[in-house]
Amino acid sequence: MQVFTQDDVLRFIYNEVDAKEKKSIEDALRLNPSLLTLYTELKEVVAKLGNAKMEPDNSTIDLIMAHSAASKMETSH
């Protein structure tokens, strides 16, 4: 039986495996309870990440805007 890593399972979750590897992982999930547990846990994490709202801190935006303004002033002289 082939051994699958956490990276393999993540690629499977994100549908980044070819048809042969997909079939192998599906078979392994049916036969290996610990791999199935890993799959379930990673699937939950991926779902939570998909719902996470990501936006930069206001201080980061301020720094970017200040840098942009300074760069614009340098190029206009």
Q: Classify residue 34: in a domain, yes or no.
A: yes
Q: Classify residue 46: in a domain, yes or no.
A: yes
**Tokens 């992982």, residue located:** 25
User: Cα(38)–Cα(45) distance, rounded to whole angstroms?
Assistant: 11
Q: Classify residue 1: in a domain, yes or no.
A: no
- Counting the structural domains of the chain, the total is 1
Q: Classify residue 30: in a domain, yes or no.
A: yes
Q: What are the angstrom distances between the C-alpha of 53 and each of 48, 63, 65?
A: 10, 21, 22
Q: Classify residue 58: in a domain, yes or no.
A: yes
- pLDDT value of position 36: 98
Q: What is the pTM of this model?
A: 0.66
Residue 40 has pLDDT above 80, yes or no: yes
Domain that holds residue 25: 6-75
Mean confidence (pLDDT) of the chain: 91
